[in-house]
Structure 1
């Protein structure tokens, strides 16, 4: 490659990508009975070569290149005017692609090769997936774009503007940290929501439970337990509930690595044991029924929008509340108080409390091992309340199965605390 003149290699790059873009245009419009395109492979190749020639004539002064661009634009404008007038077709994609092709030469000269490759490949892909994008856009409602806008606002606009200084000397959490927890949890929930709605809209019980566990294992447990009363298979419902709990451990482990690496490393062995223990339980109950095939539409878990303003405000309030309570308990009662508080908090949404442990002032007053123990106690307590929900709301057949599964995880949690920490 070193023996090839740089201008030659760049010329070959421009010609090759111009030809590929032209070939894609030919393929894309090959089924059209009424050709409205101004050109395909040869035309686009020549447009790329023309751009190369006009650029290398005077690379220091872009006047010649810009003049050629204006001339090409003028011809394309005349073509577009007649296309609208005669064919009644307003599409402008091919014209934009032609202008991008013309700009390949200065792009390969002035920017790293990977940028030119990225742009060329992006043009090919975006042209090819026109129908797929159109079909995908049909799945979006107006609310989905509003949800995306909310996520951009809370993560990209509000978060960078918040101060990093602690709110007070007694409460070692800054507005930035408080909002960051909302963004972190919302990101995981939002990703699960998008996958469930757009990638697997008709998923069965197990996949629905796995995705629901990344959103809220408690909400997933309640929904699946209620479905068991409608004649659903109790074994598969149990497998779904336990798999959602297994995903709860994964979610909390991700949050730990995001906020406190030391805690995450200490927490990893215990949570890994609990995750691995949930797998055979899920497998046992899922395969206990002789026929595991079921119609995807039989299980339709409806996720609430994970980015509702009310939800964010409640989460922020709980985070601040548990932050104050945790510091008071730590200062007054020490490790024992935190363990008792962890068990009590398990009956609520444990994410705000656990995130306080991961990044709050408690890490200064108690050891990392104590925080890890408190986290596992909170998850065990949360499993206990989920078991109560499932027994209360589920069918008669479901109760015993869920009790057995959750009891194993709860007992194992305390054994891990005694053995590993």
Structure 2
């Protein structure tokens, strides 16, 4: 509730929010069911509004008169059950009765004083109801591998975290199981979001959309896919632009990950990457201007798998211990070398390890340089992949990648000299 309001004003706000929730859901339901004949609808704008108002009032009186509040709620839910029963038994859609029940619950929460939670729940409810066609189209496009991916990410994000201890343990106190698993949730979630977006939009909007969205979770996989396709054609399509733009997105991706997982090095890291980022986008835009339209290739493979996720945790855990050990043996330059070696295998691992280190173990500038070096290694791999698969057709894409790589190397050299 809003602080400072008189009790009567708080009660009025709760009841009014309940009414607003009912009105909002009722408008959506009324619009969707507007073509039904008069009298055929169980609940429209007026009924939903009254349900919201009644549930809001029940919430207002619940503290002082809990029995009366329970009677009001049971009466409304009972009415809904009786009114919708014939439709449900005849195979009708259950969306409206479920939406009505959720409306009652949300409005009741508003009456209790949880106005923010109630409003958020109502907004999400209306959003889901309004996207009926889009959700059905999305489900129609799903394949079995997509359902498996969703189930695997559900296990990663929901089934493991609650059971992990939130305390420092292991050698050098380098392991916190909860924090380690949160890293997995964030990194794999970032990748999964890109994969879903690619499945939704990439195939419908061509090579550039596939490159831009796919680059958010695996620019290397996008590069391999487009380079292979480019090597099988005579060139002239959008594949070179897609390869360049996928890496341009990768620069943005690592900046976002640093901001989330290692924010103390964000400023020096952005300063280090900014010139290369600009060059990458300019080169990708120039190649796009030269390209002919082309259809999208199949998006890269699904990034969510339990075994690689577990392997990533083990790798991060070992890296955390190694970083603490290296600091005692070699100082911050030893940690910088360790970050570079790890990042050559997985840039995300290098970012995560840097973010988990105490600030006094390695300076922000040196950590940014080490992670920047891992990006150079990654870019070198993509240049090789482009030339290996696309051969002569891949020269323009390879030069675009090389240009941003050389600029990044120059930025790293300047930053190193300033240490």
TM-score, normalised to structure 2's length?
A: 0.80
User: d(CA) in 2 for partners of 1:256 and 1:54?
Assistant: 48
Q: Which residue of 1 aligns with 2:225?
A: 223
Change (3 A) 1:129 1:372: closer
TM-aligned CA distance change 1:55 to 1:198, over 3 Å: closer
Cα deviations by residue, 1:138-179 (Å, 9 ceiling, x for unpaired): 23345434433432332344345145324213x834444543
Q: For residues 110-129 of structure 1, what are the structure 2 equivalents within 5 Å? A: 110-129=112-131
Question: Do 1:344 and 1:381's aligned partners in 2 also have CA atoms closer than 8 Å?
Answer: no
Give TM-score scaled by structure 1 length. Answer: 0.79
Conserved in 1, the CA contact under 8 Å of 2:343 and 2:350? no
Q: Please state if 1:406 is matched with 2:406.
A: no
Q: Is the 8 A contact 1:323 1:353 kept in 2?
A: no
Q: Give the 3-state SS of the residue equivalent to 1:202 in structure 2.
A: helix
Contact 1:19 1:42 in 2 (8 A): yes
The answer to whether the Cα contact below 8 Å between 2:26 and 2:46 also exists between their aligned partners in 1 is: yes
Q: Residues 202 and 296 of structure 2 are in contact (CA less than 8 Å); yes or no, is this contact kept in structure 1?
A: no
Query: Deviation at 1:131?
Result: 3.4
Indicate whether 1:31 and 2:35 are aligned: yes
Name the residue aligned to 1:194: 196
State the shift of 1:331 in Å: 6.0
Question: Residue 393 of structure 2 corresponds to which residue in structure 1?
Answer: 397
Aligned equivalent of 2:296: 299
Quote the residue 1:415 is aligned against. 410
List runs of 5+ in structure 1 lacking aligned partners. Answer: none
Looking at structure 1, the residues matched to 276 and 286 of structure 2 have their Cα atoms a distance apart, in angstroms, of 16
**Aligned partners of 2:320, 2:222: CA distance in 1, in Å?**
27
- Structure 2 CA distance for aligned equivalents of residues 325 and 42 of structure 1: 65
Deviations 1:21-76 (A, max 9, x none): 44544432232359642343444455556667778889721333433444444444
Distance 2:174 2:61 in 1: 63
Q: What's 1:252 paired with?
A: 254
2:255–2:266: 8 Å Cα contact kept in structure 1?
A: yes
Using the TM superposition, name which of 182-191 and 351-360 deviates more: 351-360
Separation in structure 2 between the aligned mates of residue 274 and residue 19 of structure 1, nearest angstrom? 52
Asked whether the 8 Å contact 1:347–1:385 carries over to 2, the reply is: no
Bigger shift: 201-210 or 19-28? 19-28
1:292-332: CA deviations, max 9, x gaps?
333xxx33243322220222133234435555666676666
Shift of 1:209: 1.8
1:206 aligned partner: 208
Q: 1:31 to 1:280 in 2, by over 3 A?
A: same
The 3-state SS of whatever aligns with 2:353 is helix
* Cα gap change, 1:378 to 1:115, in 2 (>3 Å): closer
Between 244-253 and 73-82, the greater mean CA deviation after superposition:
73-82
Provide closer, same or farther for how the CA distance between residues 28 and 360 of structure 1 changes in structure 2, counting only shifts above 3 A.
same
Q: Return the alpha-carbon distance in structure 1 between the equivalents of residues 35 and 27 of structure 2.
A: 14
Q: CA deviation at 1:89?
A: 3.4
Q: Using the alignment, how far apart are the partners of 2:326 and 2:116 within structure 1?
A: 55
Question: Offset of 1:275 from its aligned partner?
Answer: 0.7
Q: Which residue of 2 aligns with 1:64?
A: 68
Which sits farther off after the overlay, 7-16 or 268-277? 7-16
Contact 1:350–1:379 (8 Å) recurs in 2: yes
1:138 is the counterpart of 2:134: no
By how many angstroms is 1:416 displaced? 0.8
How many equivalent pairs are there? 409
What residue ranges of structure 2 are gaps of 5+ in the alignment? none
For 1:288, the equivalent position in structure 2 comes to: 290
Match of 2:305 in 1: 308
Q: Distance in 2 between matches of 1:176 and 1:107?
A: 32
**d(CA) in 2 for partners of 1:358, 1:21:** 44
Following the alignment from structure 2 to structure 1, what is the Cα–Cα distance between the partners of residues 17 and 374?
59
Q: Give the secondary-structure state (helix, strand or coil) at the position aligned to 1:215.
A: coil
Which one has the largest radius of gyration? 1
SS in 2 for 1:307: coil
The 1-side partners of 2:168 and 2:57 are apart by: 57
